[in-house]
Amino acid sequence: MLFAVYDFLERLGVKWLHPGLGGETIPRRAPFLISGWNVMETASFRYRGVDIEGAYTPRHAKAMVDWMAKKKMNHFFMQLVVLPFRGAAELG
C-alpha cells in the first residue's frame, strides 16, 4: 500500500531526487479530479535496494531508509559499526 501512495504522488509530479527534505520536489497544483485511474504493476526485480554502508550518522541512515521506500526499494544492508572519521580508512 505504501508503494501505491508514493506511485500516486509521483504521477502528480512529486519527486524524491535524494535522501532528505532537500531532495523533495512538490509542485503546486490546482485542485483536480481523479477518475479513470486503474494501475496494476509488478516489480521488475524481487529485491530492490542499496547498501547504505556509507551512512554518516543515524539521522542520515534514517533519511536514506525513508528515501528508499519512496523509490520503491524493499531491501537494505547497513553497517552498524561507527568509526571516527580521520580522513582515511583505518582498519585493524
Residue 78's Cα: distance from chain center in Å? 15
Confidence at residue 82, expressed as pLDDT on a 0 to 100 scale? 62
Please report the pLDDT score of residue 91 as a whole number.
46
Fill in the DSSP letter of residue 75. Answer: E
Residue-wise over 47-72: b if at least 16 C-beta within 10 A, else e? Answer: eeeeebeebeeeeebebbbebbebbe
Write out the chain's pLDDT in tens, 92 residues. 888 999 999 988 999 999 888 999 999 988 878 888 888 888 888 888 887 776 667 788 888 889 999 999 988 877 666 666 666 555 44
pTM of the shown model: 0.68
